[in-house]
Amino acid sequence: MKRLLPLPVVAALAAAAPFAPAQAETAILAGGCFWCVESDLEALPGVREVVSGYAGGTTQNPTYKTYERGGHREVVKVDFDESKISYGDLVGIFLRTIDVTDPDGQFCDRGHAYSSAVYPLDGAQAAQAEEEIARARKTLGGKVVTPVEAAAVFWPAEDYHQDYYKSQVRTLTRFGFVSRADAYKGYRKGCGRDARVKSVWGAEAYKGLPKAGF
């Protein structure tokens, strides 16, 4: 016969037990300059963290100086609470913050390293990503070129790239000796990122999306 624990002991064990975490998921997305994608997606309810990095290439441990030669794209890794935002909804919003009609880069950044892509981590994510891209293609009349790629290893970018859009560290840039946050704003405006996205998607499709950084 099993001996039952005294109630005070049961209560103490329950108090010491960790709370069950909310359901979490991960998404890997490429949308050009990772500073901009990070700033946009961190504004979404349910997104816990966005980390800038590299993925999709053939080399190990890519750096900012070597990732392009290794065939990688700039990407972000998004950790999100799927009880608050689904993977499909996250991809759908992401697609509306980039130029899905551009096969050769994003905005003023050109080349494969800056082209857009979705890197699903399993079959369920792949199916949802394909569904969102099909929906975007229908909205835009078949002009979407953003691919769904095979699962890829994510390599985090250097520390100074993380949260660049809100960093107050001052640095010498083409905009002068300014904070990284101000340099980011100047870069984003100079690239015409938001004006181009609005021209692609139209005011109605773009209106009301959670946005940050401009």
C-alpha distance from residue 49 to each of 40, 76, 113 (Å): 12, 10, 22
What is the spatial distance between Cα 165 and Cα 182, in angstroms, rounded to a whole number? Answer: 8
Active site residue 33: yes
Helix (H), strand (E), coil (C) string for 68-108: CCCCCEEEEEEEEECCCCCHHHHHHHHHCCCCCCCCCEECC
The tokens describing 21, both together, are 């975490």
| Annotated active-site residue in 33, 36, 108, 191 | 33
C-alpha distance from residue 138 to each of 48, 53, 144, 202 (Å): 30, 30, 9, 14
Q: Which residues are catalytic?
A: 33
